[in-house]
Amino acid sequence: MATGEPLEGAICFGTEQVPESWRHLWQLRGRELLQLLQSDHIAQPIRMDDQTVHRPSLNHELNEHLVVKSPTAFTSFLDTNDSIILDMPDVSRLSTAIGNFLYVGMSMSFKRVQEDKQQLTGALRLHTAAVEGGDFKLEIFINSPTARAIIHAIRDRDEKLVRIMLGNYLAEGMDGSLRKQEEKHLGIPGPTSALGVVPTEDEDYRLLIMLQFSTGQELCSIFPI
């Protein structure tokens, strides 16, 4: 029997068992998982906390908030499947899209400084949805002070401050993501796994934001075709 057949049966069975209001989400997650299997991308689930890097500038209390944690193992390894990664957007178009706070944090990142004011930057990338209607993932390289500010806001569960830092556009895009909606359906308390900060191998941190499909589509326009 093919690898995906037992899973297809399980997904169909689960669709009949879950509440009707959750069926679309269940089916979408199932299609994402099947796509992963068919493309041989599920070898070993990759967790964000495998990327732990010691940061002398941030104390242990803050480091506990540097990992992206999914509400379930099922959604955790889905982060490893990004069908297309868009990068090298035009810097002049970013401040409107990501807001001043994140724009400054990105501009002061080691990755951006190394680019020596080039018009295109690798400090922002967009991971497209695996399937139609799925979540996009925005990835922004930011400097340590910006990361520290976001981590403090997440730790203190200051949602208003987080929204100010993200800007209304990205905050609303995150609120509409399947990841955030799934947490609401399951009654999972904050902080949300749709937003996370993880260290890199150098001085920067990566800000990861899960976005609803429509917001992701709009952001595609800032990348060169």
Tokens, residue 26: 């269940």
Output the pLDDT for position 53.
40
Nearest partner of 224 among 147, 124, 80, 148, judged by Cα? 124
3-class SS letters over 69-120: CCCCHHHHHHCCCCCCEECCCEHHHHHHHHHHHHHHHHHCCHHHHHCCCCCE
Residue 199: the pLDDT is 95
- The predicted model scores a pTM of 0.68
Residues in the chain predicted with pLDDT less than 50, given as ranges, are 1, 3, 36, 39-80, 82
Q: So what's the pLDDT on residue 189?
A: 83
CB 177 within 8 A of CB 135: yes
Number of H helices, E strands in the chain: 10, 5
Residue 73: the pLDDT is 28
Q: Closest by alpha carbon to 195, among 209, 175, 174? A: 209
Show the tokens assigned to 138.
């925005």
- Per-residue model confidence (pLDDT) at position 131: 92
